[in-house]
């Protein structure tokens, strides 16, 4: 049992590693708004692939439709509540570079909690599903880490603090993965799948609302933007098929 828990924690490290790698890329390469736009479209395609290719087919085979529908809507509702809380926190702070930078930190930490919940819940279902989900997340989190560090740099945060902030993202993702795994591992298969679909609803809405909005703000869309989204979905489809 302890070994299983360690495997979950190890898999949860992968999204944090992807986020940190994206931050390093932003530190050492000149930022490009078009590149960021393409990367965020690709990340959105990966997340769509996670939900459509891996999560939903498995859930539909194992749990009743009414339970999955309720779980999906509840997950989306949970995201909307968290988004409202983040916006309320932002409004309560004074304007300035520091407040803006920490708003970015809170938003990314919330996304990584979603990553951890997805991996931890997937681990409660099967180790293979958890591995596939973790591989998808590490790819999706690279552009997010790139965008985060670029934002901190634009707000005047020095490099040592930026790297420390990027490394600290390991805590929300690992903590969320451990919590969801140990809560769900002994439950009926129905509830494991409902938990997975709940997190998928939260995560899908975050991808469509946050990542795409950030992509559109970074640069105007082009045919390459659309191609990047398709490529992200295709990459995850190949990962899932190759490991399946």
Mean pLDDT, 10 residues at a time, over the chain (244 residues)?
Answer: 71 88 81 77 86 89 91 90 75 56 66 82 83 84 80 76 84 87 83 87 80 76 88 89 73
Q: How crowded is the C-beta side of 90, counted as CA atoms within 13 Å?
A: 15
Residue 7 backbone phi and psi in degrees, to 5: -60, -45
Question: What is the structure's pLDDT at 215?
Answer: 76
H-helix segments, 29-125: 33-49, 56-62, 65-92, 97-125
Query: CA torsion angle for 181, 184, 189, 192 (degrees, to 10)?
Result: -70
| pLDDT reported for residue 112 | 81
Per-residue pLDDT at 69: 95
pLDDT score at 70: 95
Q: Which residue matches tokens 């993202």?
A: 169
Of the candidates 215, 146, 25, 125, the one whose C-alpha atom is nearest the C-alpha of residue 133 is: 125
The rounded distance, in Å, linking the Cα atoms of 142 and 232 is: 12
How far is it, in rounded angstroms, from Cα 189 to Cα 201? Answer: 18
Q: Residue 158 carries which DSSP code?
A: -
The label of the residue with tokens 């930190």 reads 105
What CA dihedral angle connects 20, 117, 203 and 214, to 10 degrees? -20
Dihedral angle of Cα 178, 129, 187, 68, to the nearest 10 degrees: 110
Instruction: Quote the pTM value.
Output: 0.80
């Amino acid at each position: 049992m302890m070994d299983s828990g360690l495997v979950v924690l190890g898999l949860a490290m992968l999204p944090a590693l992807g986020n940190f790698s994206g931050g390093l890329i932003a530190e050492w390469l000149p930022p490009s708004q078009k590149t960021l736009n393409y990367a965020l479209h690709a990340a959105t395609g990966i997340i769509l692939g996670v939900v459509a290719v891996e999560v939903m087919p498995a859930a539909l085979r194992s749990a009743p439709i009414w339970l999955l529908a309720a779980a999906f809507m509840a997950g989306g509702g949970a995201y909307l509540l968290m988004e409202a809380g983040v916006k309320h926190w932002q409004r309560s702070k004074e304007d300035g570079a520091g407040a803006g930078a920490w708003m970015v930190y809170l938003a990314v930490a919330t996304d990584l909690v979603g990553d951890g919940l997805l991996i931890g819940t997937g681990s409660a279902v099967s180790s293979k599903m958890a591995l596939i989900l973790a591989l998808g997340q590490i790819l999706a989190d690279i552009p997010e880490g790139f965008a985060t560090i670029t934002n901190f740099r634009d707000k005047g945060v020095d490099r040592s603090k930026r790297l420390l902030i990027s490394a600290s993202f390991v805590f929300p993702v690992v903590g969320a993965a451990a919590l969801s795994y140990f809560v769900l591992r002994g439950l009926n298969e129905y509830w494991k799948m409902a938990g997975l679909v709940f997190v998928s609803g939260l995560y899908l809405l975050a991808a469509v609302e946050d990542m795409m909005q950030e992509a559109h703000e970074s640069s105007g869309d082009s045919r390459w933007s659309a191609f990047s989204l398709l490529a992200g979905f295709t990459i995850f489809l190949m990962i899932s098929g190759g490991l399946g």
